[in-house]
Structure 1
Amino acid sequence: MRLSNKNNTPVITFVYTIVGIIFILGVIGYLMEISKFDVLGNKAWILLLIPVLLLIPLYVMGKPLFEYDSDGEALNFRNSHILYIFSKKNAKDEFPKYKLVKFNIINGFIFKRLYIYITSKKNRVIILKYDITYLTRKQIKDLKFSLNKVVKANLEIGHNDNTASD
């Protein structure tokens, strides 16, 4: 199963552009206010507060682009950001399906996170984190269905291995 929200890229880019413009205009307005106009007096900080309050949710919501592919013998996850400034922490992971132990989806107030638990070569559990805030409910439902299918298959294989060794 393949899942991607790349078709939302123009909308997300538009929102980031508008908030960026509002931030730049707020900074310019603040500088003009303190140096030349002095209309707001001691309340000039409001011109900076409003744009920052718009930037905070965008930052908390995380990386807007998410791709998932479960076709074949491996699971592929890619989580990336539109802005080049934040692209350092882009996540791109590929691992065999049999390594998936479990997954968990956290629903915060303005964000959603996907936690993937996989086994390493030394039988330790590694946690991979992905931002899925920008996925629709249907996409999240499909993602849950696909990951549940892989986890159940892994449990059956693990159960069959345990009964064969007894």
Structure 2
Amino acid sequence: MRLNNRNKASVYNFVHTMLLMLVIFGISAFLLNEYRFHAVGKESYILLVLPILMLVVFHLNGRQIFEYDSDGEALNFKNSNIIPFLDRPLHDEFPKYKLISYEIVTVFFIKRLYITISSKNSGSTILKYEISYLSQKEVNDLKISLNKVVKANEEKND
């Protein structure tokens, strides 16, 4: 099964650009109010705080682009940001038989996928992917696919 949200990258770029413009507008409006017009009192700090908070939330949600491929004998995970220099993209590929378990953790609006794979050196390794920008249907499809692989691995081991 293949799953990706790369087709939504233009939407995420648009939202990011709009948030940056909102921050610049907020800073400009705040500075104009403080040093020139004095139209708004202490409420002018909202012009700074709100846009910056929205931009921080956008980036705290994590990497926007998630790709998953379970076709063939290997599982392939890619997780990248729409802004390439912000952080390094994650790319992991491993055989299906190494998958031990997975867990999807949701805290408020942040979703993370934790994959546990068997490792020769340390016994098991946990890989983390950010899936906050996947729709609920995509998350459910991902769960179904990973459940199939985990179940097949459990049957082989028994």
Q: 1:76 to 1:138 in 2, by over 3 A?
A: same
Match of 2:88 in 1: 89
Q: Following the alignment from structure 2 to structure 1, what is the Cα–Cα distance between the partners of residues 83 and 110?
A: 18
Match of 2:119 in 1: 120
Mapped contact 1:70–1:76 kept (Cα < 8 A)? yes
Instruction: Give 5+ residue unaligned stretches, structure 1.
Output: 160-166
| Deviation larger for 92-101 or 45-54 | 45-54
Residue 59 of structure 1 pairs with residue 93 of structure 2? no
Q: Deviations over 1:109-155 (max 9, x none)?
A: 11111110011112522111111111112211111111111111111
Q: Indicate the RMSD between aligned Cα atoms, in angstroms.
A: 1.5
Q: TM-score, normalised by structure 2?
A: 0.92
Give the count of matched residue pairs: 158
Q: Deviations over 1:40-64 (max 9, x none)?
A: 2344322211112211321221111
**Within 5 A, what are the aligned runs for 1:1-12?**
1-12=1-12
For residue 14 of structure 2, give the secondary structure of its aligned residue in structure 1: helix
Q: TM-score, normalised by structure 1?
A: 0.88
Mapped contact 1:57–1:110 kept (Cα < 8 A)? no
Match of 2:68 in 1: 68
Pair member with larger Rg: 1
Question: Percent of pairs identical after alignment?
Answer: 47
For residue 144 of structure 2, give the secondary structure of its aligned residue in structure 1: helix
| Deviation larger for 99-108 or 121-130 | 121-130
Mapped contact 1:119–1:126 kept (Cα < 8 A)? yes
Match of 1:46 in 2: 46
For residue 78 of structure 2, give the secondary structure of its aligned residue in structure 1: strand
Q: 1:85 to 1:123 in 2, by over 3 A?
A: closer
Q: Which structure has the highest helix share of the two?
A: 1
Q: CA deviation at 1:12?
A: 1.4
Instruction: Give 5+ residue unaligned stretches, structure 2.
Output: none
Q: Following the alignment from structure 1 to structure 2, what is the Cα–Cα distance between the partners of residues 121 and 32?
A: 61
Match of 1:150 in 2: 149
